[in-house]
Amino acid sequence: MTQQLPEDIVKLSYEQAREELVAVVSQLETGGATLEQSLALWERGEALATHCENWLNGVSQRLEQARARVEEQQDD
């Protein structure tokens, strides 16, 4: 099952999403938010974490493809 991410999160770079995720975690750890606010923060954090993971998976795939191309060139 693929999670549909909010458009504003999809537009973030990895670094921007990571920074916001750190801020969300800090807010949750600090406490003081209502239950509804905490739930909204948690959901946003989950979406940010998914976005970061998607970025990293994409980078990993690109690295593997680049390695395969280099190996192919070396075999020729």
Give how far Cα 7 sits from Cα of 26, 42, 44, 62, Å. 23, 17, 12, 24
Note the pLDDT of residue 1. 45
Domain ranges across the chain = 12-75
Just give the CATH number of 12-75.
1.10.287
| Predicted structure pTM score | 0.83
Encode the chain (76 residues) as per-residue pLDDT tens digits: 456 999 999 999 999 999 999 999 999 999 999 999 999 999 999 999 999 999 999 999 999 999 999 888 888 7
Note the pLDDT of residue 73. 87
Note the pLDDT of residue 30. 95
Structure tokens at 17: 């999403």
The region, left, alpha or beta by phi > 0 then psi within -120 to 50, assigned to residue 3 is beta
